[in-house]
Structures are given as structure tokens and as C-alpha cells.
Structure 1
Amino acid sequence: MRIAVLDDDPLQLELIDQVVRQAGHLCRLHHSGASFVQDLRRESFDLLLVDWEVPDLSGPEVVRWAREHLPATLPIVFITHRSEERDLVEGLNCGADDFIVKPIRVAELQARIAALLRRAYPQAQEDVLEFGPYRFTQSTFTAEFHDQSVVLTHREFALAVLLFQNQGRLMSRDHLREAVWGQNSEVLSRTLDTHVSRLRQVLRLRPGQEYAISAVYGLGYRLDALGCTTPTDLDLAS
């Protein structure tokens, strides 16, 4: 999963970064509310960790912006020194899903992140995923379309599963590259485009079918369920 963090304390950012990465997630760090919102406008994330008091924009202002412009299911957690009941109420009322009081306890932060991600993305925990005529078995990296096997590389499989699990949601190019090729990968943009083009072909992910991948210029890709009739041409080798 890809997690964005907002905190103006370098030591806190370093600690959170370590905790998030040790849990196996990708992490993007921000020092100010303005830079955080700017990144949220062009990138996609699976969870947000937001400090209450930061430069430019307050934590509550950032959370309210996120609730107005980002998917309603996106989990948001406040991390703050504030611990009184009125602060908890204000934080939850402005759109946060959870509240962690500093100093951060590593085990608690890991547990709360894991719980929120399980709740927001239940399919990520399942081995066999089914979407209309598509079936993906994650333990064996096997894909089927209308009960016919489809040969995919491991990266093609990972990209397909990621798009299906987030159907209807715009996924940024960096998000897709980091999730499939790794955060430190220097994979070229055209490599991602080539993989998407291959998925469109072998899985029939294009207009006129049940699902289609669309490109959003300069931002990324989105998989949408179109609800069209079942295609008659099932020659997956073409």
C-alpha cells in the first residue's frame, strides 16, 4: 500500500517512515500542508497520516480538503499531541477515521494502519479475486477470463490486480510504478504504458467490453466497469 505522511518534525517523519516501510508499505513524506495538498492533487495514495499543527495549512484544513476532493473510502489518521476529548471530536468530525496521540508508539501505529487498510481494502487480503468474467489467484499468479487461462507475467498480473482492486479510482503513474516495480525502481514511463497496452489486449480491457482501462493525460490510469454485454471473441492468444 502507498501511504502519504504530513508532519513538520523531521524526527517524527523519520520514525513514521521507518514504521511504514517495515510494515511493507510505500511511503511519501511531506513537511508542509501546502506541499501535501499539491501532491494529493496529482498522486494517489491508500492512506493518509496527518499531523494536526503544520505550516501553511492546519491538519484539519488538509483533512477537510481531502474529504471534498478524494475518494470517500480513503483512510485518514490524525497524529497529534492533542489528547483532550474536544480535539478528538473535532478531528473525527472534520473527516479523520482514527486518532493517534504523540509520542508515537510503534506497535500501536502499525496495528492501527493495518486495521484501517484491512477495513478499506478487504479484497487485498483475499487469495482468489473475481470481477465479472475475470478471476485472479494471487498465490499462483494465475488469471482467467471467462474460465479460460490468460498468460501474464508477474508484473502484468500485479498491475492487473491493482487496477481491478481500485476500479473507478484514478491511479497515478508513480503509484502504479512503485507498487509493481518497487519504490526505488527507475522503470521508464513507457514501460508502464507497454504493460497497460498488453493488459488491454489480452484481457479485453477496452471500450465495448465489461471493463476498460482509460488514460488520464499527465496523471495516470483508471479501470472502469462498463457493464457491457459479454464479448463473443474469446481468443485470448491474439
Structure 2
Amino acid sequence: MKILVVEDEPAMVELLRYNLESEGFDVASAHDGDEAMLAIEEEQPDMLLLDWMLPKVSGIEICRRLRRDQKHSNLPVIMITARGEEADRVRGLDVGADDYVSKPFSPAELMARIRAVLRRRNPDAGSETLSVSDVVVDLVAYKVKRGDREIRLGPTEFKLLRYFMERAGRVLTREQLLDGVWGQNVYVEDRTVDVHIRRLRKALNEKGEPDLVRTVRAVGYCFEKA
């Protein structure tokens, strides 16, 4: 899981990087608002640790933009800032932040808050099964069921379904799917994603059930929660 740290103090970036990597997270960083918006597109993080006061574009404005953007509206955001007044915390939460940590903070507290936000966003995180709508994936036995029906999937379709279900409700671009399922250092054409999504849909919707993989025109795909 990748976390993007958006912070203009190098020492704080390194402190966060050390603690996050110690917990097994991949870490990317950005040092101002413009760099952050670019990094969100390029790095495709699973969570944002966002400083309030940033050069060029403030953390509040970044959070506001994300919540208005269909692709990133569900990206978890924890704001990290020296501003500890109640009015500031309320403002940060009002623009869509999932949680708020004031400096100075303990690394243990931050990790606990990160885990709490991830659990709220994805209650199945860390489980041996994934369940969205009437689809259940057994991550140990590599089995998939929809309702009472067992579904047979190839390895790529299985990885694709898992990636979708772990991010259910989020709109994912073809580039995100390529990087997440095939890997960032593997060259695969965009149309390959469409081919495997067609196969996945055919397997999931064999009995005429509602299609859970929604096509978002000119953007990508979204696995529906219901």
C-alpha cells in the first residue's frame, strides 16, 4: 500500500518516511501543492498525509479539489498540521479530510489513525476474504463466489477483481489498473485492461446479475459497492 506524504519540511518528510516504511508502507513524497497534484496522478497513492500549510496550493485546497474530482473523491486523506484550534480542525474535516493530526504528534498515534482510516474505508483490509455486494473472494484458497455460484477466473482476472474490490467505490483509470495489476515496470497496452475486464464481466454476470463493474466514460472503471 502506497502513502503519499505532502509536506514542505524535509525533516518531517524523512521522519514520516522512516516510520511508514517500518510499518510496511510504500512512501512517495511531494513538497508543495502543485507537486502534490502531479504526484497523485503519477504515484496513484492509496492514502494522502497532507500538511495544511503548503507553498503554491494549500492542503485545504488540495483536499477540496480531490473531493470534487470523480477519480480521487474517495482517496483517504489525513491532514497533518501545526494548526490545532477546533475551528481549523472542523474546517479540515468539512472539506473532506478523513482525520486530522496536530503537530507535534507521536508516530504511534499517527499509525493508529492511519489504520483506523483504512479500516473505515475498507473494513476487509487485512482479512483473508473480501466481500463487496454479493461477491466474496477467498484470498487464501483463490476462490470466488457470487451468491451461491462459484466463479472460475484466470490468474489475471482474479488479481483484477481483487484490486477492484479492495478499492470498491473508487473510479480507477486504466493506468491505475495497469500499474496495480500488471506492475509499473511491465509494458502492457491500455486495451489489454479492456480485454480482461470483458472476461471478468462475463464470468461475474453469467446468470444475468447486475453488472458491478461500471464504465466511467473517458475516465476508467468503478467496482460498485451495491
| TM-score after normalising by structure 1 | 0.72
Match of 2:6 in 1: 6
Please, which runs of 5 or more residues in structure 1 have no aligned partner? Answer: 227-238
- Pairwise CA distance, 1:125: 4.2
Q: Which moved more, 1:64-73 or 1:77-86?
A: 64-73
Conservation of the 8 A alpha-carbon contact between 2:28 and 2:43: no
Aligned mates of 2:224, 2:101 — CA distance in 1? 35
CA distance in 2, matches of 1:167, 1:157: 15
Letter in 1 for 2:196: H
Identity of aligned residues (%): 34
Contact kept, 8 Å, 1:43 with 1:172, in 2: the verdict is no
Q: CA deviation at 1:116?
A: 0.8
**Corresponding residue for 1:123?**
124
Q: Determine the C-alpha separation between the residues in 1 that align with 2:52 and 2:168.
A: 31
CA contact (8 A) 2:170 2:223 kept: yes
Do the aligned partners of residues 192 and 103 (structure 1) sit closer, same or farther apart at CA in structure 2, a change above 3 Å counting?
A: farther
Counterpart residue type for residue 164 of structure 2: L
The answer (yes or no) to whether the contact 1:51–1:78 under 8 Å persists in 2 is yes
Q: CA RMSD in A?
A: 3.5
Q: Aligned letter for 1:210? A: P
* Corresponding position of 2:82: 81
What TM-score does the superposition give when structure 2 sets the normalisation length? 0.75
Contact residue 132 and residue 225 of structure 2 kept, 8 A:
no
Q: 1:50 is aligned with what amino acid?
A: L
Query: What residue in structure 2 maps to residue 144 of structure 1?
Result: 145
Instruction: Say if 2:111 is the partner of 1:107.
Output: no
Quickly say closer, same or farther: Cα 1:73–1:223, change in 2 above 3 A. Answer: closer
The structural deviation recorded for 1:100 is 2.1
Judged with a 3 Å threshold, the aligned counterparts in structure 2 of structure 1 residues 132 and 92 are, in CA distance, closer, same or farther, namely closer
Q: 1:13 to 1:176 in 2, by over 3 A?
A: farther
- Inter-partner Cα distance in structure 1 for 2:178 and 2:26: 11
Moved more, 103-112 or 123-132: 123-132
Contact kept, 8 Å, 2:212 with 2:223, in 1: the verdict is yes
Spell out, residue by residue over 1:200-225, the C-alpha distance to the aligned partner (whole angstroms, 9 max, x if none).
Answer: 333338xx641153555664322347
